[in-house]
Amino acid sequence: MMRARTIPGVNARPATDLPVLLPLDRAKVAGPDAMMVSRWLAGLPAWTPLALLAVILVWPLTASAAFTYTQAVETLWRWLPFLMKSGFLFNVLISFFAMAIGTVMGAVLGLAQISLNPMIRTGAKIATQVFRNSPWLVLLYIVLLAMPFEIVIGDTIIPVPDWMKAVIGLSLPIMANIAEIVRGAVASVPTAQWEASEALAFSRTQTLWKIILPQCFKRMIPPWMNWYAILTMATPLCSLLGVEELITLSRQAMESADNHPELLVPFYGFALLIFFAYCYPIARFTIRLERKFAVKL
């Protein structure tokens, strides 16, 4: 077997003080991991849901109050269809609408960041950084207080429900992060592609839509899915706005059962379990696509 060749300045320390290449520090080159959430979620063992389920079932056994294990399980089981149909399904719908709106607006904002017009480019960068670095809960409250409860057009009154405000509030940070994904994907295409299309007399619009963006789509899919998983896990924030989703309905169910402390872990543990069961396959598929579409250097 041949020994690996040692090249000073590349895979070994330089032997002299001449200006040669230093060994590559991958930790510094890589920067922050944009796929950290999906990578962490996908790295959890497959038996994690079973462990969560065991905690949910065993917890009432440790209670010393009069509320028994059988009563806790019966209460959760009685509310289970309602929590799934009117609760978690609503979380999923909010995530779908927020992701759809955020993706469309983010694509426009990301393309505006590479505009040749300095005013458009600067404005897009400022908007991206503002919404990208703002707390999600603060944005939700701003949208809740800024938007009216109803819109009056002539004799027609159109109500604006709280869930719609939650969708708009969650779509704002998603818009900013999708904009960075689009900008980064376009910037990752080698400059030779732009130069070659210019040599072939392509306009900038033709170059962008026919050459650059088709190469970017598969690079944008993994981080896009990563942000969808993050958005889905953030939808319980809507419960603070009064939106009737899984967490809000779980709290109402426990109140109807006289707020026994023994119900806290079963109900909230079920919420954790159902969110994990929904997001875990997405994270695994995201990591798989990332490896498949990784740029080979």
For the chain, list the domains and their CATH numbers: 47-290 (1.10.3720.10)
Residues 6+ apart with CB under 8 A from 141: 169, 241
Instruction: For residue 218, give both structure tokens.
Output: 């598969």
Q: What is the pLDDT of residues 78-129, one digit of tens each?
A: 888 888 888 899 899 999 999 999 999 999 999 999 888 999 999 999 999 9
| Rounded-to-integer distance, Cα 135 and Cα 179, Å | 17
3-class SS at 160? coil
pLDDT tens digits along 179-228: 999 998 888 888 888 888 888 888 888 888 888 888 888 888 888 888 99
What is the dihedral angle through the alpha carbons of 255, 273, 32, 175, rounded to the nearest 10 degrees?
A: -60
Judge if pTM exceeds 0.85: no
Q: Give, in order, the Cα–Cα distances in Å from 254 to each of 55, 61, 86, 162, 165.
A: 18, 18, 16, 23, 26
Average pLDDT, whole number, for the chain? 80
Judge contact between 109 and 176, C-beta under 8 A.
yes
